[in-house]
Amino acid sequence: MATVPVNPDILRWARETAGMTLDEAAIKLQLRQARGILPAERLELLERGIAHPTRPLLLKMCKHYRRPLLAFYMEAPPPKGDRGEDFRRLPEDYTETDDALVDTLIRDVRTRQSIVRAVIEDEDEAVPIPFIGSATMDDGVEHICASIRDSLEFDLKVFREQRNVTEAFAYLRNQTEAAGVFVLIIGDLGSHHTTISAEIFRGFSLADDVAPFVVVNNQDARAAWSFTLLHELAHLWLGQTGISGAIVGNRTEQFCNDVAGSLLLPIEELDALSISDHTDLEVDIDEICNFASARNVSRAMVAYKLYRATKINFDRWNTLRIRFRRQWYEHREEKRKQFRKKAGGPDYYVVRRQRVGPALIGLISRMVSSGALTSTKAGKVLGVKPQNVFELVRQGR
């Protein structure tokens, strides 16, 4: 079978930016041991230019590395993908694989956004969204909070009346999407092998005056989703495209955290808590848990607000943050163990609908029905294969 001459640097770049090790990629590409050479070693030979891929193998690389065929014929790897502003302060165990996964995810969502914007413009439905880039940090936290409440018609009382944090987030998401912002819930590239920890990114915003997108990492606690969404909305109000992390990295992140915190928990409500640096830690944890549960917010956010209000110091806040994080991880692992004991799994279409949200499904449904969008492009936007588009749309009605 004929081999295809390509720049070996491109092969390595495509694999690394897809977030795969040599071993992982060899499995995906279904390479087999040959003449005593292990699959990963065979792939390494291709990436060193000692061997060349066959065309069928190159097509598999296109699929699993998420790159068009033309990309493999470039003379050299392109510059690093544009994330916008990187507002994160990264954990010490951050790796190049994490970097590649994040870049791949952002590239994927940018592609979705470009398709959505193009079809909206082609159908003469493009209406500039007035709040994108409408404010600066000099306007102050309360100014942006008021603008977000007004634009989203967000009612904190209604948010808190929801039965749990999942339904509270659904309310906030619906209000956000009704205002013209598409909200995706994604924390991987389609499989559990490519999950991206919330310690690596919690969310990112793609500012655009016609088709703005916000992504919330579903690897984070559900109780934190609403805070992350509002945090990213603050970035959109500032006109910023960028990625946010779990650890506050700079003044802008602090500002957006303050906006989200003020919207979900007015500072005066903290007076109901009898917590300080010297009160019993275990009692404090119980009190914060009850307080947060009654308001459909995360315990970590309540602790953070206490710190920002100078009711506790940094060390106390950090202790609480670590405890809440560890408790959440333990709870999540226990639920996963229970889930593995049960037969079956979550419905494919239910998971996809949650990821892309009702606004995007509604838009794609209209555009496919009118012939303005092919099933191939619709599948790209919705994150499913073209043949699954119609069933996803049907179930989403």
SS3 assignment, position 349: helix
Q: Which tens digits make up the pLDDT trace of 81-127?
A: 567 788 887 777 777 778 778 888 898 999 999 999 999 999 999 99
* Strand extents, DSSP E, 218-290: 242-244
Find out whether 241 and 158 touch, Cβ atoms under 8 Å: no
Confidence of residue 29 (pLDDT cuts 50, 70, 90): very high
Q: Write out pLDDT tens, residues 278-287.
A: 999 999 999 9
**Residue 395 in this model has a pLDDT that exceeds 90:** no
Query: Which pLDDT value is given to residue 346?
Result: 73
State yes or no: pLDDT of 1 exceeds 60. Answer: no
pLDDT at 2 over 70: no
Rg (CA), the chain: 23
**For residue 36, what pLDDT is reported?**
86
Q: Which of 1-15, 41-55, 268-282 has the least mean pLDDT?
A: 1-15
> Between 35 and 280, whose confidence is greater?
280
C-alpha to C-alpha distances, 348 to 333, 345, 351, 352, nearest whole angstrom: 22, 9, 5, 6
pLDDT of residue 192: 75
Q: Higher confidence at residue 182 or residue 246? A: 182
pLDDT at 257 (0 to 100): 94
- Provide, rounded to the nearest whole percent, the portion of the chain with pLDDT above 70: 95
Question: What's the confidence (pLDDT) of residue 66?
Answer: 79
- Asked if residue 340 has pLDDT above 70, the reply is no
Backbone angles phi, psi at 215, to 5 degrees: -115, 130
How far is the C-alpha of 122 from the C-alpha of 103, rounded, in Å?
A: 28
Q: What is the pLDDT of residue 333?
A: 86
- pLDDT band at 256, cuts 50/70/90? very high
Residue 80 has a pLDDT of 60
- Enclosing H/E stretch for 114: helix 96-122
Q: What is the pTM of this model?
A: 0.82
CA distances from 286 to 119, 166, 298 (A): 50, 21, 13
Q: How confident is the model at residue 324 (pLDDT cuts 50, 70, 90)?
A: very high
Task: Kindly state the percentage of the chain with pLDDT values over 90.
Answer: 69
Instruction: Report the distance separating Cα 121 and Cα 372, nearest Å.
Output: 11
